[in-house]
Structure 1
Amino acid sequence: MYIIDSNILIDFLRGKNKYALQMLRTSDAGIFKIPSIVKAELLLGVEKSSDPGNNRLKVELLLLPFETLPFDDRCALHYARLRAYLEGKGIGIGANDYIIAACAMAYGATVVTNDTTEFERVPGLSIEQWTEVPLD
């Protein structure tokens, strides 16, 4: 299972990063999940945009094939433990990244992101960076 970070989906919407486009278009959509916080980040971008109506439709269509993972009790426990641990070490990460990482840990998923710097601080978290690579 893969949890998709918002930066991957934003690249998809903008037609950037051909490797991410290929992976999302050719893989079984069932293996990709979207944490509710990622959906919230995308919707925030919509609300702040110059064309919310059109952009909301684009985001809704993009998210249609993906299951949204709720921030449930398992995620909450991982969140609390992770945040306490990292803050205790003085190496915190972004508020939303804590939630994404906690969901990935709770569901045993790999985080797909272009922002590995934050997630690399999380011990034991599986991460993939889908960067631009030559396609066959």
Structure 2
Amino acid sequence: MAIRYLLDTNICIYIAKHNPASVRARFEQLSADVLAMSVITLGELQHGAEKSQARSKALAALKQLQSVIQVQPVTEAAAQHYGQIRSALERKGRPIGNNDLWIAAHARAEGWVLVTNNEREFNRVEGLAVENWV
């Protein structure tokens, strides 16, 4: 089966922490082959783990998460979408964070649904399918 959902950083954190239960329940309903995280998300998670006061525990949790959620590289198509999205949002005076731009571009370029608890920012991106499992 093909990837259908790209999980944003906050959703990956919820899955790792088993909280809220609604996110973990939805995650467990789906097969691993339809779920992915962007390498951008992995970078954000790595950063969080590195600066954690419980660094070893956080890095172990990240390794566990990577064993159940595949990491996808950013493609040339995603770079094209990044440029389109960033330009469109700047024209409207409604920019979003740079990493969020890349994650949105990645999902939109691949035709995947972005799963996030940050609907406020991602709903600004035209043509991006967004779901919130919280």
| TM-score (normalised: structure 1) | 0.92
Q: Which residue of 1 aligns with 2:59?
A: 56
Q: How does 1:60-99 map to 2 (within 5 A)?
A: 60-99=63-102
Q: 2:110 corresponds to which letter in structure 1?
A: Y
Q: Distance in 1 between matches of 2:14 and 2:70?
A: 19
| Secondary structure of 2:36 counterpart | strand
Secondary structure of the residue aligned to 1:3 is strand
The answer on 1:28 being equivalent to 2:28 is no
Secondary structure in 1 matching 2:68: coil
**Match in the other structure for 1:134:** none
Residue equivalent to 2:120: 117
RMSD: 1.0
Q: How many residues align?
A: 131
Q: Which residue of 2 aligns with 1:47?
A: 50
Question: Which amino acid counterpart does residue 121 of structure 1 have in structure 2?
Answer: R
User: One-letter code of the match for 2:131?
Assistant: E
Distance 1:14 1:57 in 2: 12
2:10 maps to 1:7 = yes
Shift of 1:4: 0.2
Q: Distance in 1 between matches of 2:34 and 2:18?
A: 21
Alpha-carbon deviation of 1:13? 2.1
| Identity of matched residues, % | 34
Q: Offset at 1:57?
A: 1.1
Separation of aligned partners in 1, 2:111 and 2:78: 11
Whole-angstrom distance in 2 between the partners of 1:65 and 1:17? 18
SS in structure 2 of the partner of residue 12 of structure 1: helix
> Distance between the aligned counterparts of 1:116 and 1:53, measured in 2?
31
Matching residue within 102, 106, 117 for 1:103:
106
